[in-house]
A and B are shown apart, each in its own frame.
Chain A
Amino acid sequence: MPKRIILGISQRRAFRKLVENSRDRLYRMAYAWTHDPHLADDMVQQAMFKALSNQKQLKDLGAAEAWLFRILSNCLKDYYRAKRDVVSSENVVIADEVTPEQNTEKQQLVDKVRRAVRKLPLAQCQVVTLVDLEGFTYASVAEILEIPVGTVMSRLCRGRRALKEHLIDVGTAMAPRRPATLKRVK
């Protein structure tokens, strides 16, 4: 049986703070996986509840972020298992909803990318978004999704290949011919 190191009071407090501070990032990830604000909100609440209920299982506060995303992933897995009796998320594809036509160029681009991400099987979508949105290392993604690093790499390849087919012309068309507007640079 693995040795359990229980977090002290100050670490527990820090953990609770971290959970709260991670809410927006968890929500963004849940949204990227489901493209359903309501479901994403539910998943985040479930994940936060499970994290707080099981914080004694956390051995190292430094590993808390990856642990939170792992719980979120498991919540989604449980949801689909209950909903569709699907054991593996490998082949789950999120329904491609038609969104209202947007006017702005930015929104059109955002919608196009989201549609392409939504077409990915969930397993590929999760890897792509964990790497691209959160900047997790391959090793962390492997830990979060409980899969080997090699599987992370192959899913990432397949996911990006599919995205490239849908999106790379977008990037080319978007090539700016005017000076770039940078984010705030200090």
Chain B
Amino acid sequence: MKKDEHFSEEQLNAFVDGELDPEEKSRLYNESAHSPELDLRLCQLRKLKELVRHAYDDVPPAKRPGGPALRRSGPFGGVLVAGILLAVGATAGYFGQGLISKAPAAKPAPTAQALEQTGNYLLHIVSGDPEQMQSALAHAKYLLDSADEGEYRRVEIVANERGLDLLRSDVTSFAEEIRTLQENDVVFYACARSIQRLEEKGVKVILVPNIQQDYTALDRVVMRMQDGWKYEKI
């Protein structure tokens, strides 16, 4: 009987994975010193581990149209989106007038600390039901109106699947409401993949003006949740 038959395959695996208890480990070390067969088996297992690791050192990135995978630039990367003006300050007058008032003047960007403490919201629209859409837009308005004085509150709306209809200029019934909310710094995002899917079916997608695009709605959702924003799916 070969000496290495004292050890099961499971024990040898546990040995190379550092899971064997010290006593058994010592026994295995001793036997492998006198058994070339056992030594070879251990060597092969270690080699297998190394081969698997090596094979996945560099994995191909996901192919995303229009650029690389969503990456963040720093602890609060992506929070300060270029071109977005913050609806801060002037809250008494502005919120008193609701959405009818003109856009407030741009204010200095808040600190990271301030942003962390704010109640910013991301609304995610997946429903193609006009009533749900209307409710989402009304909710966005309410969120802006209900912010405390001096509070930095930002609201974004991201749409995908059937919810994309909200942002399609030839389909939506809410272009005017969207424009008004945009004037009050609500930022709208369309899911590029949903657009791509529609276009693959031969549907020409034209969005209402000033709609941003993210590769997927989930990209934006994950990013904002990482920023500590509140998330609501509608």
Q: Does A77 sit within 8 A of B, measured CB to CB? A: no
Q: Which residues 148-186 of A sit at the B interface, judged by CB distance below 8 A? A: 153-154, 156-157, 160-161, 163-164, 167-168, 170-171
Cα–Cα, bound, A45→B13 (Å): 33
Closest beta carbon of chain A to B140's beta carbon, Å: 20
Q: Does B104 sit within 8 A of A, measured CB to CB? A: no
Q: Which A residues are CB-close (under 8 A) to B6?
A: none
Closest beta carbon of chain B to A76's beta carbon, Å: 15
Do the beta carbons of B54 and A48 come within 8 Å of each other? no
Q: Does B47 sit within 8 A of A, measured CB to CB? A: yes
* Range, interface on chain B: 35 or more
Q: Which residues 26-83 of B sit at the A interface, judged by CB distance below 8 A? A: 44-45, 47-49, 51-56, 59-64, 69, 72, 75
Cα–Cα, bound, A12→B229 (Å): 12
Do the beta carbons of A164 and B44 come within 8 Å of each other? yes
Task: Name 13 A/B residue pairs within 8 A (Cβ), A-sorted.
Answer: A12-B228, A13-B116, A16-B228, A41-B62, A45-B222, A114-B55, A117-B55, A132-B52, A137-B19, A138-B17, A163-B48, A168-B48, A171-B44
Do the beta carbons of A132 and B216 come within 8 Å of each other? no
Given contacts A38-B63, A113-B54, A132-B52, 13 further A-B contacts (CB under 8 A): A20-B226, A31-B59, A45-B218, A49-B221, A49-B222, A49-B225, A109-B51, A137-B19, A138-B14, A153-B10, A157-B9, A163-B48, A168-B44
Contact of A170 among B51, B60, B75, B231 (CB under 8 A): B51
Q: Which B residues are CB-close (under 8 A) to A131?
A: 17
Contact of A46 among B17, B60, B64, B218 (CB under 8 A): B218
Q: Known contacts A49-B222, A113-B51; is A37 also within 8 Å of B10 by CB?
A: no
Do the beta carbons of B222 and A138 come within 8 Å of each other? no
Q: Does B219 sit within 8 A of A, measured CB to CB? A: yes
Do the beta carbons of B222 and A52 come within 8 Å of each other? yes
Which of A's residues lie within 8 Å of B, judged by CB? Answer: 12-13, 16-17, 19-20, 27-28, 31-32, 37-38, 40-41, 45-46, 48-49, 52-53, 109-110, 113-114, 117, 128-129, 131-133, 137-138, 153-154, 156-157, 160-161, 163-164, 167-168, 170-171
Cα–Cα, bound, A100→B152 (Å): 52
Do the beta carbons of B218 and A52 come within 8 Å of each other? no
Q: Which A residues are CB-close (under 8 A) to B55?
A: 109-110, 113-114, 117
